[in-house]
Amino acid sequence: MGIRMDRPPAEMNLAELTECCIREMSKYRRKEPCDDQYCLEIFRRAVLQRDHDAWAILQQQFSESVRMWLGRHPYREAALRLEMEKTYIDDAFTRFWRAINEQKLIFTTLAAALSYLHLCLNCAIMDTLRAYSRPREEPIPDHGHPEEPLAEDLYHENELWETIKGMLPGERERRVAYLHFHCNLKPREIIRYCPGMFSGEDEIYRLKRNIMERILRNVDTVRWKLGGIEQ
Amino acid sequence: MNCPHATAPNDEELVSCALDEEPLTGKAKEHLEHCPVCQQRLALYERTNRLLLARLYRSQCPGVTLLNHYCAGMLPPDDAITIVQHLQGCPLCAQEVEEIRRILADFDPSCIAATTLPLYAAPLRIVASPVSWQSLPFSAMNGGSGAPPAGSWPRRYRAAALHISLHLSHTEDGKFMLLGILSSVSSNGCNGVLAGRSVDLFRLPDEQNLQPEGADASKPLVTDTVDALDTIVFTALPAGTYTMIMHMPAGDIIIPGLTIEYS
């Protein structure tokens, strides 16, 4: 009597599934024909059944792959200057778990599941780079928090921007205001991103002066939204 | 309040200094170093700029996850249209989308690291499965022609990545010695990682078993520990039916139905 490897994956215990998954993944890695139903069954148990052992198996089996992908990422050096390797790996799995649960994602192939896990790693890296690129006036958000600001904060930012736009009469001033305050672009960068729209850096300096003068002239309107501006 | 001095920097110079970090030069720079009015003007521009930047920087931009989903074609049409409209006006997001597309396109999902089986089972208790002689790489008894007779020895079992070989021999005083050899599926031995793990042998009471008076069937008859060579040895065992329980780090491995008897 031997190990019953021919049972449907749903009837196998986790140890048997893991063994089959490893065997098939070896074929998958060599681009040979393989059966990914065992791995997908582990995914299914981990997510749909909230099986913690199955989730632990997934992390154990794919952490090295995520580490390998991180090592090949084009922004690897910049990312590792900011956070540790393990942080990105853990964050990728956290995002993967959250996305599958919130969006009810279902993977029909192992390739699709791994592609999405890679996408989660990319999000973890880019979110960190974006967070550290913010102009310093507020503390860096804790790692693992959603990158989108709270709805309440976003409302205030939207309201503030609409108020400032309302002060600016021309499309060119509004464009320069957006590129400066939302993108933090310098005049030469604005020229590069908007070819032909402005005559040169001098015009952009002039427009920025007009923008600041209008904001400061109407400081009372924005003070309660912003705070901290005094003339 | 503007400074009336002839060498005072004009508003454009102060704004470019405050917003774009363009340094003042020449007389304007010298004037600023000594003029509190101009210093106050510059500080006001700097403070206003800092506050607005902190509040507005990328506040209109979709999150990174949304951009990745957009590039992967996972967004509903309305959301995708919203992203496209934003990209037309935001060079930072447009650049990020270009990079995300390249990163996702370059990814090969078959590029994964080699993995190994865990040495012991993840579940807390697992019953080891007997391994048929046909699955063994070496020749079995009876010329390797088929399954061994029932109750014969040696026996092999498997639990996750662990192979367990049990060998029985009897001593001159009529007792038995049971030898267990542990090995990993992926290598010849366990490299001593299981050394020190305890293994219990429970004797099942039946009509033939004669339990010493006061013996407790719920306690193991004998316990041994795995040595550095991945072996366990039980000596002076009386005939009977036993259950072996191996206490591994992740849980117990159970081998039931070990019948030890004279052939």
Domain ranges for chain B, please list them: 11-56, 64-106, 125-206+218-260
Can you state the angle between helices A219-226 and A201-217, rounded to 10 degrees?
80
Together in a domain, A90 and A191: no
**Predicted local confidence at residue A49, as pLDDT:** 85
In chain B, residues 173-212 whose CB comes closer than 8 Å to chain A: none
**Predicted local confidence at residue B141, as pLDDT:** 35
Say how many CA atoms lie within 13 Å of A64 toward its Cβ. Answer: 9
In chain A, residues 53-72 whose CB comes closer than 8 Å to chain B: 53, 56-57, 60-62, 64-65, 67-69
In chain B, residues 97-136 whose CB comes closer than 8 Å to chain A: 99-100, 102-104, 107, 109-118, 121-123, 126, 129-132, 134-135
pTM of this prediction?
A: 0.66
**Minimum-distance CB partner of B118 among A18, A111, A160:** A18
Q: For residue B204, is it left (φ>0), alpha (ψ between -120 and 50) or beta?
A: beta
Contact B49, B18 (CB under 8 A): yes
**Beta pairing class for B129-130 and B198-204:** unpaired
**Predicted local confidence at residue B121, as pLDDT:** 43
Ranges of H-type helices in B57-76:
64-71
Question: Given CB atoms, is A159 within the 8 Å cutoff of chain B?
Answer: no
User: What b/e string do you get for B82-92 counting C-beta neighbours within 10 Å, with b at 16 or more?
Assistant: ebeebbeebbb
Q: Note the pLDDT tens digit of each residue in A145-186.
A: 444 444 445 667 888 899 999 999 899 999 999 999 999 999
- Are the beta carbons of B112 and A29 separated by less than 8 Å? yes
What does the alpha-carbon distance between residue B35 and residue B8 come to, in Å, rounded to a whole number?
8
Question: What number of other Cβ atoms are within 10 A of residue B81's Cβ?
Answer: 11
CA distance to partner chain A, nearest, from residue B14 (Å)? 9
Question: Given CB atoms, is A176 within the 8 Å cutoff of chain B?
Answer: no
Kindly indicate whether the ipTM for this predicted assembly is greater than 0.95, answering yes or no.
no
Report whether pLDDT(A83) > 60: yes
Together in a domain, A15 and A43: yes
Q: Where are the beta strands (DSSP E) in chain B?
A: 125-127, 129-130, 155-159, 162-170, 176-184, 198-204, 222-225, 231-237, 240-248, 251-260
Residues of B in contact with A156 (CB under 8 A): 55
Mean pLDDT of chain A: 84
Is position A231 within any domain?
A: no
Higher pLDDT, B3 or A143: B3
- Are the beta carbons of A137 and B53 separated by less than 8 Å? yes
Report the residue count for chain B. Answer: 263
Say how many CA atoms lie within 13 Å of B228 toward its Cβ. Answer: 0
Ranges of H-type helices in A72-186:
76-82, 85-103, 110-132, 151-167, 171-181
Strands lying side by side in the sheet with B231-237: B129-130, B155-159, B162-170, B176-184, B231-237
The amino acid at residue A144 is: G
Tokens of B108: 């090969």
Provide mean pLDDT across the span A39-68: 89
Neighbouring-strand partners of residue B251: B248
In degrees rounded to 5, what are phi and psi of residue B252? -100, 140
Together in a domain, A24 and A123: yes
- Are the beta carbons of B48 and A216 separated by less than 8 Å? yes
Together in a domain, A62 and A173: no
3-state helix, strand, coil in chain B (%, to 5): 30, 25, 45
Question: Given CB atoms, is B262 within the 8 Å cutoff of chain A?
Answer: no
H-run or E-run covering B175:
none
Provide mean pLDDT across the span A137-142: 45
Together in a domain, A40 and A87: yes
Tokens of B150: 């029932």
Q: Looking at beta carbons, which pairs linking A51-56 to residues 24 or more positions away fall under 8 Å?
A: A51/A14, A53/A14, A53/B122, A53/B123, A54/A14, A55/A97, A56/B122
Is position A3 within any domain?
A: no
Together in a domain, A77 and A163: no
Neighbouring-strand partners of residue B234: B178
CATH topology assigned to domain B125-206+218-260:
Immunoglobulin-like (2.60.40)
- Are the beta carbons of B52 and A138 separated by less than 8 Å? no
Tokens of B16: 């470019």
List, for chain B, all residue ranges whose pLDDT scores fall below the cut of 50: 119-123, 134-148
**Range of lowest pLDDT (A26-30, A199-203, B103-107):** A26-30
Is position A107 within any domain?
A: yes
Tell me which residue range forms the domain holding A201: 151-226
Burial group, residue A42, by CB count within 10 angstroms (0-12, 13-18, 19+): buried
Angle at A80 between CA B114 and CA B60, to 5 degrees: 110
Place of tokens 């003068």: A213
**Predicted local confidence at residue B171, as pLDDT:** 82
What is the total count of domains within chain A? Answer: 2
- Are the beta carbons of A182 and B107 separated by less than 8 Å? no
User: CA of B185: how far to CAs of A25, A214, B91, B119, B164, in Å?
Assistant: 16, 75, 55, 8, 10
Query: Number of Cβ pairs closer than 8 Å across A and B?
Result: 202
**Predicted local confidence at residue B151, as pLDDT:** 63
**Minimum-distance CB partner of B122 among A14, A69, A184:** A14
**Minimum-distance CB partner of B56 among A115, A161, A187:** A161
**Minimum-distance CB partner of A123 among B68, B126, B130:** B68
Say how many CA atoms lie within 13 Å of B95 toward its Cβ. Answer: 8
Question: Given CB atoms, is A118 within the 8 Å cutoff of chain B?
Answer: yes
